[in-house]
Structure 1
Amino acid sequence: MAAKSVTLKQVTKAYAGLGTKQPSNAVSDVNLVIEEGQFATLLGPSGCGKTTTLRMIAGFEDITSGEILFGEQPVNEIPPNKRDCTMVFQSYALFPHLNVWDNVAYGLKIKKFDQAVIREKVSRVLEIMNLNEYKERMPSQMSGGQQQRVALARALVMEPSVLLFDEPLSNLDAKLRIVMRDEIRRIQRTLGITAVYVTHDQSEAMYMSDVVIVMNKGRIEQIGTPQEIYQRPKTKFVADFIGSANFVEGKVVRVVEDRLEIDTPMGIMVAANHAEVTAGQQVALVIRPESAVVLKTANNNAVITKSVFMGQTQEYEIDFGGKMFQVTQHNPVAGSVFSTGEHVTLEFPEHSIQVVPA
């Protein structure tokens, strides 16, 4: 398999309006480069355009304007069955009347590969997917996880340059999802194939991806590694969608080298300057629950309104200056655990506060 990059240049998908309504854009002016061998995830809420984008890459949806390339080759005019990619669907889409071997071999037979080549390719992919012992089974005799592996094997046997996933794990239970996301990532890394994955599950995206593309209302909000998306969100939407966050509105009063001083309802707060903001600008401070520090001092400034033990963590709700903060304390047995009603001090280390435009 020779992996190819995937490039989208100003890609837009508009749907005709009904009656007097104007056409509406499902995807607007998307520019994106997914490098060879990368695992890229399109992430966002329902209706954000991620599945439409994936279907345009696959050729199942025509684009209204723009250009899509695999490597250096434009593919706008190439039909889905001629593009060098395959799709793994949410519904598995296995043929119920064919056994595992014949399901996996189906695409090769349609393309009229020699029988000896089909045997070699199918045997190899069944070995990779640990499916040899199931090759005579019918889909109805297999679990959801096994069927998903067959669907993945059927895609891989075609040796595509680009592998597309449309929420492939959404029909599986929570424990099996974890097993299958490991399996998909292992196979993708082993083969070095370019993968484009669609999900609305942020933990899945963070776990599996080299790069995450966060979409909102048909546009890309941010592209980055999982760490960049979580630790350096560029917009309030990204900060709110990825993980949990407390938001404090404020106004920048001073910019001093790599520090920002921000006037908030809780007084002046200091943040490391990772954002392109200027004095006088209205901003939102993003404070992750695990970033806040709870302790006892002589000048306690907050009150615990809820304290819940969750095993690995202690979850607090804390009233600080009339605003409620969600705070997570990891490994609570190693430190002090505070009870509902206790007066405490709530601190926010400046390096852990992110600043985004309000």
Structure 2
Amino acid sequence: MKVPMLDLTEQYQNLKAEILPAMEDVMSNARFILGDNVKKLEADVAKYSNVNHGIGVANGSDAIHIALSAIGVGPGDEVIVPSFTFFATAGAVARAGATPVFVDCDPKTFNIDPAKIEAAVTDKTKAIVPVHLYGQMADMDAIVEIAKKHNLGIVEDAAQAIGSKYKGKSVGELGTAATYSFFPTKNLGAYGDGGMVVTNDDELAEKMRVIRVHGSKPKYYHHVLGYNSRLDELQAAILNVKFPHLDEWSDLRREKAENYTKLLNEQVGEKVVTPFIADYSHHIFHQYTIRVERRDELQKFLQEQGVSTMIYYPKPLHLQPVFAELGYTEGDLPETEKAAAEAISLPMFPELKIEQQQYVVEKIAEFYSKN
């Protein structure tokens, strides 16, 4: 059996009758930049996030950079970030001219450990960027408390977490701003790049709208140094078709996750550590990520059996060559380094079949029974 990590073909076939007319409408009207589709998506995603503003941008990486720039992060500043995450989180900090300060992760959730944040705060610290990894929100009460104590901004990196909740509150409600990615593999994915920042702050929202169009307002009058980062109208049209299905897809992911956990506990047992769901969390399972021993050997075996998997993330950011000048060494963030050696994500998408899940788990059980 072949089990892909992600298969978007069935989703497209189900929505094809709506998506193609939506794209045709954009092309017929010839309004390609910041048109009605972008405005509708911005309004709908802001409402979904229970905030007042959505600012559509070119991608999730730009979303973080624009949010940081709008709150005044720049050269000489430090921004606290997790090391166990995708490069864009720290990359956006560096692009803003600031220094990323890496903090270890919670071994259960993989998210930034609030207990380690306070020690990383200095008089140069300007903001914290917690990442809601794999679809589960970080422990925001503790992070908000630290931010208030030290007068820091919070930019929630919710690239993987649209629809996730913390104690009933949505992404974007708890920080200064929150950022989404609409990369095709995300729970709400476009057919190319796309992103958005959401915020309740009127002044901040206006700053970000100006930054995304070369810092101009009105057109051709530039008051700040912005750049070109706008959500494409065609991608917004596609996302508007998909958006009403998001909660259903998230519920299906949660069902698949429950089934994986049940099967793994029954057939593999203690050789696998299944995902921890915090009691404050509504987890939407962008990824179903387990911890295992002999992770790389398992991945190779599963690949030979037709099962695709992904390792997010094999080399922590604090040990990446691009950040070598910051002086981090192996052993500095032990939980992050352990997670990078043990974590592996299994196939996860709403259309995943039970038979496929059973096959994946059977092959994991087979690997450990042989080894």
Q: Name the structure where helix makes up a greater proportion of residues.
A: 2
Higher-Rg member (1/2): 1
Q: Which structure has the higher relative contact order (CA within 8 Å, separation 6+)?
A: 2
- Fold in common (TM above 0.5): no
TM tier relative to shorter chain: under 0.3
Q: TM-score, normalised by structure 1?
A: 0.24
Q: Name the structure where strand makes up a greater proportion of residues.
A: 1
